[in-house]
A = this chain, B = another copy of it.
Amino acid sequence: MASGKTPSSPRRVTLNHVAERAGVSRSAASFVMSGRTDQRLSAEVFARVRAAAEELGYTPNLTAKTLRTGRSGTVALVSDFVSTTSFASTMVRGALEELCQRDSLLFTVDTHGREELESRLLDSLLARNIDGVLYASMFTRSVTVPPVLKDTPVVLLNCLSDDGGGISVIPDEISAGEDAARLLLEAGHVRDIWFVGSMPPGQVGGTIWPPWAPLALSERREGIERALRNAGTSLAGSVVVEEDWDIANGRAAVAGLLASGARPRALICVNDAVAIGAGHALRAAGLRVPDDVSLVSFDGTPLAQAGEPALTTIALPHLEMGRRAASLLSDPDRTPRRLRIPMPVIPGGSIAGPRTGP
């Protein structure tokens, strides 16, 4: 009662208040606040409006602006599991960095690969006038972009559209495969090089979502085989990893290989977890890394540092992918294309030359 003028829920200050205070029309205030110089407003009006806005602590209501203009300054990352899984969350960081510079905000939703959920979330997002969609997948694969997005700018992040269209940002897995093979070749390996990570017969994906075939597998192998062929050699063989590419299954796969009597000199593992498991199996068999067997893997996860020695691994360029995808979202050029982002080699201590002798 005493202090009087402080309402319990203080009305937000609007453009009306600013115009009133500055003694100009609402239009003039609007032009100043949105920085439009094409209206030939006097410098003095500019200054007055700016000052009034400052004094009143004006912040424009973006909901109103969105309703009027149809643009919200927001973007959605729609993915299967990206935003909530540690594996690929660095892509979110890249996207966020880029969007922050563009003053755009990011919605994140995970659909868990469920169509009805995806459809509901997309409706909800579209009803909020999002300006674009980053359609992402946790691992590189082919996807179907929902038709409801046909009038919205979309960039595919870590996936390819099954209709061959769209703008995609994916890792350059083929070159990564070549690099893996080249690292071994340069160390002097020619024979007894095995690949660890084939799918069991009849299986295309892992247990999380069996029908999703990872592009990484086919393309990494393609690169590996090409590089070996160019060097006049080839893989000694390929080891199946059951179920998922995790430590336990990697260990079992390599234990099986060794039990079969094979004597590998180098293993190219489909990912870091399998390579860690491979390391365990080798040690259990009395073999040392890299003296007896060299190891190289893919993904560049923190697991690679847990190996002893640290694994030489070829990293998924998640940060750069996220950045590029977000930046392409605001590119006016919408012609379908695929950007392959290079995968950097992260050197470890798991590669040495082949032992001479038996």
Contact = CB atoms under 8 A, between A and B. Distances in A.
Interface of A: 9-10, 59-64, 66-67, 72-74, 83-87, 89-90, 92-93, 96, 100, 103, 105-110, 117, 121, 123-129, 151, 246-248, 273, 276, 280, 283, 302-303, 305-308
Contacts of A307: 306
Copies of this chain, complex-wide, total 2
Contacts of A103: 124
A274 to B, nearest CB: 12
B90 A86 contact: yes
A115 B40 CA distance: 36
A93 B89 contact: no
B90 A110 contact: no
Given A63-B129, A67-B63, A83 B105 contact: no
Contacts of A129: 61, 63
A246 B305 CA distance: 10
B60 A127 contact: yes
A307 B109 CA distance: 33
A17 to B, nearest CB: 15
Contacts of A117: 100
A123 B308 contact: no
In the A-B complex, the 5 residue pairs with the smallest Cβ-Cβ separation, listed nearest first, are: A84-B93, A86-B86, A306-B306, A62-B127, A89-B89
